[in-house]
A = this chain, B = another copy of it.
Amino acid sequence: MISIVYFPKIGAPQLNLPFSALRSALADREGLVWVALEEPDEEEITRVMVNQFHFHPLAVEDCQSDGYQTPKLDDYGEYLFLVVQSVTSGGLLEGDTTRELNIFLGDHYLVSSSLRKVTAVEKLRKRLERDERIYQNGSDFLCHALLDQVVDEFIPHIDQLEEEIDFLEEAVLSNPDPQTLQRILRLKRYSMNLRRVISPQREVINRLCRDDFPMIDPHSQMYFRDVYDHLVRIFDMLDGIRDMTTSALEVYLNATSLRLNEVMKALTIVSTIFLPLSFVAGVYGMNFHYMPELGWRWGYPLVWLVFVLIAIGMLGYFRKRRWF
């Protein structure tokens, strides 16, 4: 789907420009055009990127390929080509990975493209209707608004991760079963994958706010700097989650080991009490003809006394050793 928005220098923005009017809109170098390709097919990509904008074949190829792309920034002189990764609201931790968003930033136009649905694009379109500041400051500010939206989408995901780790920290203490381990490891892997996405993305934004590009106004760089700060914070939070996950894993493994200790103590206490008792009982079960104790009047009660003494002695010893 191709949706085009045109903001002339003077006059009302046209939020649904037909494709046929794109060429004339682009000719107005004072205006601003945003072409958003959402889940486009091959033909739409060719029509916009190749026939209309004549983008570099390598960049177009990146927009067409479906595999995971590391976030990057390519400078093609007249325009910048950005690959960033976005997340969709909801559905985290369910195998849903990040989604690629490609952005071409020119002097007076912005082309965004994503093979899969990216909610940030939609949300920005809605914000355009009520906040005209977004398009009155040129293509660089519009690009900032889009990146800002993309980065903001990460926040609820990070919050969800923090809730998960809070739950797991509780769970490793109260109920350290194998499923808890599974969730810990999954969270660990997920947050490390996210780190690997955020890290180059941060670098892309950093270049936008640090390097000199003709289509980016020095005043706008402050705003990219703000997006950069958000990513730094997200990265920090992911670091914290990784640390906490490692701690949870340590508690879990220790819980397993403590449980083994507890089981072993139970076994040892029962064995060390009853093995001697059984031996004594076995002794007086022997059939020797000459065993004087067997004939004693108080032999049987005495043996019970011995039983009780052994048991008390053993229990006392364990108590001293603080085994229970």
| Chain B CB within 8 A of A274 CB | yes
Residues of B within 8 A of A267 (CB): 264, 267-268, 271-272
A: number of interface residues (CB 8 Å):
83
Q: Tell me if B299 and A68 are in contact (CB < 8 A).
A: no
Expressed in whole angstroms, the minimum distance between the Cβ of A72 and any Cβ of chain B is 6
The answer on a CB contact under 8 Å between A264 and B261 is no
> Is A286 positioned at the interface, with any CB of B under 8 Å from its CB?
yes
Question: A67: shortest Cβ distance to chain B, in Å?
Answer: 8
Q: How far is the CA of A297 from the CA of B271 in the complex (A)?
A: 32
Each complex incorporates copies of this chain amounting to 5
Per the 8 Å Cβ criterion, residues 125-160 of A in contact with B are none
Nearest-CB residue, chain B, relative to A234: B70
The answer to whether A29 has its CB under 8 Å from any CB of chain B is no
Asked if A283 is at the interface (CB within 8 A of a chain B CB), the reply is: yes
Given contacts A286-B285, A290-B299, contact A70 B232 (CB under 8 A): yes
Judge whether A261 and B271 touch: CB under 8 Å. no
Main secondary structure of the interface of A (DSSP, over half): helix
Min C-beta distance of A195 to chain B, whole Å: 10
In the complex, chain B residues whose CB is within 8 Å of the CB of A290: 296-297, 299-300
Chain B residue numbers with a CB within 8 Å of A279 are 274, 277-278, 281
Q: Considering the chains assembled together, what is the distance between the CA atoms of A100 and B283 in angstroms?
A: 74
Q: Is the CB of B291 within 8 A of A247?
A: no
Q: Collect the chain B residues with CB atoms within 8 Å of residue A247's CB.
A: 185, 188-189
| CA–CA, A67 and B261, complex, Å | 43
Instruction: Identify the stretch in A8-16, A36-44, A113-121, A219-227 within 8 Å (CB) of chain B at 4 or more residues.
Output: A219-227
Residues of A within 8 A of B (CB): 56, 58, 61, 67-70, 72, 74, 76, 178, 181-182, 185, 188-189, 192-193, 196, 200, 222-223, 225-226, 229, 232-233, 236-237, 239-240, 243-244, 247, 249-251, 253-254, 256-268, 270-272, 274-279, 281-291, 293-297, 299-300, 303, 307, 321, 323
